Amino acid sequence: MGGDGQVTLGNIVVKANARKVRTMSDGSVLAGFAGATADAFTLFERFESKLSKHGGNLTRSAVELAKDWRTGLIAIGSGGPYAQSAARALLDHTTMTARQITEESLKIAAHLCIYTNNNLVIEEL
């Protein structure tokens, strides 16, 4: 799991070296954060779509939403689409390790997204 270090508020860089990825529970759990209100609204929209599709069945909708991320590959935050696209291509067409794919994907996202920087933190279990 990896993350950049940039925190923005609108178009302003508030912090360039935030630690968005960390280990917890004596190193047995990886946790990370990214995004903002827009990400929350996107999640709400996806969940609402699942609720509509499954007739308002809360449990089924939650399970189906969770299945969207069972690919073994996910990216969040403003640079997420760039990192996820890069990671998918590298995963499908190289023999790079997960750590190498994470690092290269984040570098590509930082190169393309003005809200992402190269102050990377990568953690492994």
Instruction: Give the helix ranges, DSSP H, for 1-125.
Output: 37-53, 58-67, 80-93, 98-112
Q: Is residue 41 part of a domain?
A: yes
**What would the two tokens of residue 78 be?**
């403003």
3-state DSSP helix/strand/coil % of the chain, to nearest 5: 45, 15, 40
Beta-carbon contacts of 92 under 8 Å, excluding residues fewer than 6 positions away, are none
Residue 65: give the domain boundaries.
Answer: 36-72
How confident is the model over 31-89, as pLDDT tens digits? Answer: 777 776 556 567 777 888 888 899 888 899 889 988 877 777 888 888 999 999 999 99
Residue 97 lies in a domain: no
- Residue 21 host element (H or E): strand 21-24
Q: Is residue 11 included in any domain, yes or no? A: no
The amino acid that residue 5 corresponds to is G
Q: Does 43 fall in a domain?
A: yes
Structural domain total, the chain: 1
The string of pLDDT tens digits covering residues 76-124 is 888 999 999 999 999 999 999 999 999 999 999 999 999 999 999 998 9
Cα–Cα dist 42/44, whole Å:
5
Whether 82 is in a domain gets the answer no
Residue 48 lies in a domain: yes
Q: What is the pLDDT of residue 93?
A: 98
Predicted structure pTM score = 0.65
Alpha-carbon torsion, ordered 18, 97, 111, 45, to 10 deg: -70
Domain assignment present for 50: yes
Amino acid at 83: A
